[in-house]
Homo-oligomer: A and B are copies of this chain.
Amino acid sequence: MSRGQFITLEGIEGAGKSTVASYAAEFLTGQGITVRLTREPGGTPLAERVRRIVLERGTEHVSAVTETLLMFAARALHVDNVIGPALRAGEWVVCDRFTDATRAYQGSGRGVDPMLIDSLARAVHPQLLPDCTLLLDLPVAAGLARARDRAGGAADRFEAEDPSFFERVRAGYLALASREPHRVHVVNAAAPLSEVQRQVAAILARLPRS
């Protein structure tokens, strides 16, 4: 059995990743593909516990390096226990965020050394790169307004950051897309949902079937 395709969704807060992830899973399922829909940080019971440590806003200082290590620890659990086994079983995996998020948020957003992120990526998933990454791009102000509407006022450690942080994250994502245009597809997430879905379907339809 051939390995399934590994599809990741990326973008800033309010870009609509989880909605589009569900749509992508539904679209592929409709084509007879077995799909595993998952998300980061999290995706396994232990990784969800790590996720809570990362996202809680407490009094303890959590540095950008600490955040990066926790993200990769959760990712290692996720790759070893869910993503890797599913792909080897021939399933396609649709994952809301992966290592590109660490490059954008902790790297571009918080200034963590890209060399450290590279060495962690090599250690945690040496042979696993997404086959296709959908970067849902939209202006920061529009994304934050959507995220605030959704959260109803409550914000986690990331959502509480100021707009300049998200500008750096967005620029980091766009830089990744320009470096790897064959893998990272920029989707205009400011468009109406039906148009976003049309763009996503067109990209997914081009992926190789086994």
Q: Which of A12-43 contact B (CB under 8 A)?
A: none
Interface size on A, residues (CB 8 A): 27
Binds B, one of A53-61, A143-151, A185-193: A53-61
Say yes or no: is A49 at the interface (Cβ < 8 Å to chain B): yes
Chain A interface main SS type: helix
Q: Shortest distance in angstroms between A39's beta carbon and chain B's nearest beta carbon?
A: 17
- Assembly of this chain: how many copies? 2
| Cα(A53)–Cα(B47), bound, Å | 9
Complex contacts, A177 vs chain B, CB 8 Å: none
Minimum CB distance partner of A84 in chain B: B61
Residue in contact with A76 in the complex, picked from B50, B58, B63, B77, CB distance below 8 Å: B63
Complex contacts, A69 vs chain B, CB 8 Å: 69-70, 72-73, 76, 120, 124
Complex contacts, A61 vs chain B, CB 8 Å: 77, 80-81
| Cα(A116)–Cα(B115), bound, Å | 12
| Cα(A77)–Cα(B62), bound, Å | 6
Complex contacts, A70 vs chain B, CB 8 Å: 50, 69, 73
| Cα(A73)–Cα(B72), bound, Å | 10
Q: Which of A78-123 contact B (CB under 8 A)?
A: 80-81, 113, 116, 119-120, 123
Which A residues are closer than 8 A to B by beta carbons? Answer: 44-46, 49-50, 53, 58, 60-63, 65-66, 69-70, 72-73, 76-77, 80-81, 113, 116, 119-120, 123-124
7 additional A-B pairs beyond A46-B53, A60-B77, A69-B76, beta carbons within 8 Å, are A44-B60, A46-B62, A49-B49, A62-B77, A63-B80, A66-B77, A69-B120
